[in-house]
Amino acid sequence: IVSSCTNQRRNCKFRKIKPMKITDFKITYWEGEAERAIGDANGPYGSKRLPGSFLEIFTDEGITGYSLIGNGYVEKLFPLLEGKDPRSVIGLWKEMNDLVFKGGNEGERCDAISAIDLALWDLKAKIADQPLWKLLGSSTNSVKAYASGIDLNLTDDEIYKFYSRMADMGIDAGKLKVGLDLDLDERRLGIVKDALSKASDRPLLCIDSNEYWSPKQAIRFISKLEEKFDITWAEEPARRWDYNGLKKVSDNIKAAVATGENINDLAEFMPLIDNGAVDIVEIGMGTTGLTGAMKVANMAYAYELPVAMMNCPGNTMAHLATNLPNHMMMEVVDNGRELFFNTDHHIADGKIILGDKPGFGIDVDFDKLNELEVSKHSTPKHESYPFPRREGAGLIIKPLEKD
């Protein structure tokens, strides 16, 4: 048998991989409005504003990679990419990280690396004529979803309608924005539970205070909520980098502490994980792209920690989530922000189910994109996206003003 296999290998004609080159890129800045406003403890009155960008990376074979994020720093990184084979995604990711080494993988540098990395993965899968979930090695095209209204600005009726609609799609988990009024939080969490009970007798209830509380405030308020509710996780109950404070919260509540949404790479996750300050590791598009998110998820896996994928336009990061053995569930916002594109997926039985279109499955309506195009984004107003940190955060809670 060994001899036969050996002879087959000797007689095999190996297919030579044709070289391919990155030739150019284009960023389109756009601005529009979502169908529904979103709000949290730092921007409680909500905003529909959507400033965005769309990155295209072109090749000499006429295949184009798409990314739903990007910024002007891409231009500074592009000389490193030009003429390179787009299939060398992880190698190019490392080269980009090495290039920004001295200044750090922060801010616009991280956003640009993330955008390029995503476009390159889209390219790699398109070149292979495979959906990205399959190229990454997944054995399934579905991932558990949880509903997230980003809903502090919503009325009680609006909250019920949103989570009830999610439950109609089989989703039995939800995350409520909290932090400014304990009585209000209790009432609204009850509404979420009632709505999701259409899908499960014991829905998974999560809360998110968006770093508004101090660790001691978090312990007090979450403990009060836990007198009435079984809470799955409390997200960002203290500052994102405060591993002492986050561990203090985790040690003194029943719920898991979830964090990571607003940090970029392995260097920032390491002290949280190493000090036992995070129970559920959150990753997403901004975790230095798909490659960076994969590496953070692998580190979490080594510590037996689950990961949760953050929301993103078109739910495109579900492709990576299907590939992670320690993935718990992915955030779905569904507020009508996909203004110029569709993606090849649908939600059923509580799962994001990905299709078979190559790459991320992004289908762009360039006429609509051109209508939304701007030369630069408008200056956001206070309380508008992106939300600034609200007055009183970590010190004394400033309640919502009554109309």
pLDDT digits (tens, 9 = 90+) for 138-191: 999 999 999 999 999 999 999 999 999 999 999 999 999 999 999 999 999 999
Confidence of residue 261 (pLDDT cuts 50, 70, 90): very high
On the question of pLDDT at 379 being above 80, the answer is no
On the question of pLDDT at 343 being above 80, the answer is yes
Average pLDDT of span 126-146: 98
Give Cα 53 distance to the centre of its chain.
16
Burial label, 102 (beta-carbon count in 10 A; 0-12, 13-18, 19+): exposed
Q: What is the pLDDT of residues 86-106, one digit of tens each?
A: 999 999 999 999 999 988 888
Q: What's 326-337 look like in SS3?
A: CEEEEEECCCCC
| pTM (predicted TM-score) | 0.94
Q: How many CA atoms lie within 13 A of 3 on its CB side?
A: 0
Q: What is the pLDDT of residue 388?
A: 86
Mean pLDDT score of the chain, rounded to an integer? 93
- Torsion from C-alpha of 289, 295, 299, 304, nearest 10 degrees: 80
Confidence of residue 16 (pLDDT cuts 50, 70, 90): low
Q: What is the pLDDT of residue 5?
A: 42
Question: DSSP assignment of 15-72, as one string?
Answer: PPPPP--EEEEEEEEEEEEEEEEEB-TTSTT-EEEEEEEEEEEEETTS-EEEES---T
| Contact predicate 176/185, CB 8 Å | yes
